[in-house]
Amino acid sequence: MKFTNGFWLKREGVSLQHAAQVYEAEYSEKLRLVGTPIVIRQRANTLSIPTFNLTIDSPLADVLRININRHSGGPAALRFALNETNSPTSFTQDDAAWHLRAGRLEAVISKEDKWQIDFLGDGELLTSSAGKSLAYADVQESDGAKGFYIFNQLNLGVGELVYGLGERFTPFIKNGQSIDIWNLDGGTSSEQAYKSIPFYMTNKGYGVFVNHTGRVSFEVGSEAVERVQFSVPGEDLEYLIIYGPTPKEIISKYTALTGRAPLLPDWSFGLWLSTSFVTDYNEATVSEFIDEMAKRDIPLSVFHFDCFWMREFHWCDFEWDTRTFPNPEEMLTRLKAKGLRISLWINPYIAQASKIFNEAKECGYFLKRPDGSVWQTDDWQAGLAIVDFSNPAARDWFKSKLRPLLEMGVDCFKTDFGERIPTDVVYFNGVDPEQMHNLYPLLYNQTVWELMQEMKGDDAIVFARSATTGGQSMPVHWGGDNTSSFVSMAESLRGGLSLMSSGFGYWSHDIGGYEGVLDPAVFKRWLAFGLLSSHSRLHGSGSVRVPWSVDEEAVDVTRTFTHLKQKLLPYLLEVSTEVTNAGTPMMRPMYMEFPEDKTTWFLDQQYMLGPDLLVAPVFTEKGDVDFYLPQGEWKNYFTGELVTGGRWVSEVHGFHTLPLYIRQNAQLLER
């Protein structure tokens, strides 16, 4: 959200009060600062002005938390739960400044007649909250927004680049973008995001996490081009500075605070095959898909039943459509005898025609309108209502509907949706619906995840679309509705790399594109990319995604890369321990693995799969591709040729290969 009109003027209807100085400081385990909007020259200046009340402490070594509020009598903003270690801080002062240190990170607060807080890592300046960077904004009319806001700005240095803020399909480097942390169901070809995360990091060695569950508006060098600005409605803002200095260290500390993924079952890394809207939903069709994959020597790990395993207009009642699946338990037994795991599609919306609608309504398990009636819409399923996961009883009820399916033989759930959550509702817990909107998918997936852990133990997994901070501890997530085009394939990768820059360890996407007419060349190129991602799924909307529906070459390509991923499984399992122990993602942006190489800072069409395997998907039909090899010796996976890095490489590939290079001395991959 922008408050100014250029450098000098405010936007119409906006009144700003900027912090001008720190008037006083007091330290007792935490540092408390009182700022004022004017420089206090005499006691009379203290009358009829607001104060900026800051508390700075450390929840983890090398991390400083800054809380800012104006009036403390109202309800505090809802925060994400953090895994705190109560890291000790040290406080000193001299004639010029107060100094608060947490590990290797230090805040230096000026005593002069100006507002200046510098953040130093190992004694080097990282960023600053400088003049006019902290303000209260009273907005009467600005792009439809009204109310009171707090914003803070942090300086950007020359050449400083910003990454993260969730799974975003816009340009990978976020400089110049206006980004709202607000989950929406917008597809991959829009500026909207299914997974909005109020965390970013820069190539200067630090990250910033705004601990606020509601809407956070970021202006990343887009309003004040020398700064990142973040604003929230209300009178309470909290942000954390996380010192690395490397990207992996930043991610490690951020995920230590907000959660990490557990080790995942081996079978989850195999190929998932899904049905589509046009699939004939019956056991014969399902068995034909599965048997044909086996006949063509394409190893299949998971078969997924999408929406129409339930009856139309009844989503979700969690009951098999007995017209097409008359004996689901027997069917699952037959399918699992073929060595498969079974996944079912679900969402948190209960259609009015569902048998369980009235049950949930009478028990008060739905989101309600302010007048006490159930909030309903026809958008998706007729008369659907939304489960209120802020109600513990509703969570238990939701689990009770899924438990019989797991007992029947289902292995996991695709937890779809969770973004279309209205704000004109009342929650059971009474929390402001604006602050619950982004939190909703966390509670939804947490409910299913808890049941999976209870029923499946170490085999627990979900396949989720929506998320926010903390969602990374309940994997896996996929990238939502893309299209069958090379452009969409590239934007999907950008979104995944952006999510990996936001603390998530695993990521998948719909191979070949979800929407549109399936393009054979796109499908075959996407197969290589998809089967060299952490998790791999064939899924589409308007057509099935079995490879023989495309052509025989697609069958061969699927076989080639499915077997390749099987061969890589020991390596992937080793890499997964890094996800669990350090938060390092399995698919890594190049800058994360090679931060010392400035060329990698700009790369968004290639990635590292673990520390030792470079993948450059091909985004053209004819197979030409340019990619960058960092310094060192690399071996072409397919030919064994040794190549010296530190340069760009141009290659042309058929559908059975792509640039896939092994880093020098990668022992696990050499076995």
> Residues 278-328: pLDDT tens digits?
778 889 999 999 999 999 999 999 999 999 999 999 999 999 999 999 999
| pLDDT score of 670 more than 80 | no
| Distance from C-alpha of 500 to C-alpha of 163, rounded to nearest angstrom | 10
Of 317, 319, 481, 510, the active-site residue reads 481
| pLDDT score of 276 more than 90 | no
- pLDDT at residue 144, as a whole number: 67
User: Over the chain, what is the mean pLDDT?
Assistant: 96
Of 106, 236, 411, 416, the active-site residue reads 416
Closest CA to 468 of 198, 82, 211: 198
CB 482 within 8 A of CB 519: no
| Distance from C-alpha of 415 to C-alpha of 462, rounded to nearest angstrom | 7
| Distance from C-alpha of 350 to C-alpha of 356, rounded to nearest angstrom | 8
- pLDDT at residue 668, as a whole number: 67
Query: What are the distances in angstroms from CA 227 to CA 19, 149, 161, 506, 593?
Result: 16, 18, 11, 31, 26
Token pair 């119409």: residue: 12
Go through 631-642 and write b for each residue having 16 or more CB atoms within 10 A of its CB, e for each that does not: eeebbbbeeeee
- pLDDT at residue 542, as a whole number: 83
Of 185, 419, 491, 593, the active-site residue reads 419
Q: Considering only CA atoms, give the Rg of the chain.
A: 26
Closest CA to 454 of 406, 387, 505, 395: 406
Amino acid (1-letter code) at residue 244: G
- Residue 491 sits at φ, ψ, to 5 deg, of -70, -30
| Distance from C-alpha of 194 to C-alpha of 183, rounded to nearest angstrom | 5
Which band of pLDDT confidence, cut at 50, 70 and 90, is reported for residue 146? confident
| pLDDT score of 671 more than 50 | no
- pLDDT at residue 143, as a whole number: 65
Supply 34's token pair: 């009182």
244: which residues sit within 8 A by CB, 6+ positions away? 62, 121, 201, 205, 206, 207, 250, 253
Q: Is 297 a catalytic residue?
A: no
Q: Is 416 a catalytic residue?
A: yes
Supply 528's token pair: 């290589």
Which band of pLDDT confidence, cut at 50, 70 and 90, is reported for residue 76? confident
pLDDT in tens, 626-655: 999 999 999 999 999 999 999 999 999 999
| Distance from C-alpha of 65 to C-alpha of 30, rounded to nearest angstrom | 10
Structural domains of the chain, with CATH: 4-155+206-243 (2.60.40.1760), 266-347+392-419+437-582 (3.20.20.80), 587-670 (2.60.40.1180)
Supply 413's token pair: 């759930």
| 3-state SS, residue 477 | strand
**What is the per-residue DSSP string for 22-65?**
EEEEEEESEEEEEEESS---SGGGGTT---EEEEEE-SSTTEEE
| Distance from C-alpha of 39 to C-alpha of 41, rounded to nearest angstrom | 6
Task: Identify the sign of the CA torsion 470, 259, 427, 465.
Answer: positive
| DSSP E strand stretches across 204-253 | 206-210, 216-220, 227-233, 236-243
| Distance from C-alpha of 362 to C-alpha of 349, rounded to nearest angstrom | 16
Angle between helices 328-336 and 392-408 (to 10 degrees): 60
| Distance from C-alpha of 329 to C-alpha of 405, rounded to nearest angstrom | 9
